[in-house]
């Protein structure tokens, strides 16, 4: 083989490896928090599918809690070259996806240094507030910001309704995470196609793209 040609092939191979590595998601610990009915479990499955389609290992842990009563629901997502436990420990989350403002405060201690909370600025009153046993905090987002955390605030409900359904807040926030991590949009779209029923597919693809472009 011609030496010059061999060197060109080697350089091309290195280039393709760099491109391939750049397109693959890095190792991540993600905590998804919300209340019952907001689609935290679907969100975890979409993120898990993104990881698996990228050739990474992934483990999920779903905590249902009082989901039927609008209670807190938490899902752990961990992906990487090797993943041994499905649980994101306190202080280890690269991202917290919070579909409701109060839940972001409740779980903020799980965020690692230099991590990010992506929070939907929607208020959903928990049962203790509805019954008068507790009070929803004023300026909930400011409480988060006063903790010196990296808070990415989004009107997820508005974008979800623009996509066609208020229930698509979860996918809007996934779009923001993917944009933040520079995960290819088509990779995320493919995961949604694998996880979402046909009748809801189009609006979820729109919600993903709205979130992706909102950052």
- pLDDT tens per residue, range 14-61: 544 444 444 567 899 999 999 888 999 999 999 999 999 999 999 999
Phi-psi region of 56 (alpha: psi -120 to 50; beta: other; left: phi over 0): beta
- Per-position b or e across 104-130, b if 16+ CB within 10 A of its CB: bbebbebbbeebbbbbbbbebebeeee
Q: What is the model's pLDDT at position 87?
A: 94
Mean per-residue pLDDT for 122-148? 85
Kindly list the structural domains of the chain, giving each domain's residue range(s) and its CATH number in brackets, ordered by start. 26-162 (3.40.920.10)
Average pLDDT, the chain: 87
Q: For residues 182 and 125, what is the distance between their CA atoms, to the nearest angstrom?
A: 34
The band of 71, judged by pLDDT with boundaries at 50, 70 and 90, is confident
Quote the percentage of the chain above a pLDDT of 90.
Answer: 68
């Amino acid at each position: 083989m011609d030496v010059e040609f061999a060197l060109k092939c080697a350089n091309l191979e290195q280039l393709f490896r760099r491109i391939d590595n750049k397109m693959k998601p890095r190792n991540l610990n993600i905590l998804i928090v919300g209340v019952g009915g907001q689609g935290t479990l679907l969100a975890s499955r979409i993120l898990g599918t993104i990881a698996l389609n990228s050739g990474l290992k992934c483990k999920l842990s779903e905590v249902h809690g009082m989901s039927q009563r609008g209670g807190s629901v938490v899902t752990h997502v961990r992906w990487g070259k090797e993943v041994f436990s499905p649980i994101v420990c306190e202080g280890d989350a690269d991202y917290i996806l919070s579909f409701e403002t109060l839940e972001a405060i409740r779980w903020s201690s799980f965020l690692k240094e230099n991590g990010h909370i992506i929070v939907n600025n929607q208020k959903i009153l928990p049962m203790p507030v509805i019954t008068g046993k507790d009070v929803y905090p004023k300026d909930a987002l400011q409480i988060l910001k006063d903790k010196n955390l990296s808070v990415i605030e989004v009107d997820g409900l508005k974008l979800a309704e623009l996509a066609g359904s208020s229930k698509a807040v979860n996918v809007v926030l996934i779009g923001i995470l993917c944009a933040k991590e520079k995960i290819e949009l088509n990779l995320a779209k493919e995961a949604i196609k694998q996880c979402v029923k046909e009748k809801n597919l189009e609006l979820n693809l729109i919600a993903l793209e709205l979130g992706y472009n909102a950052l």
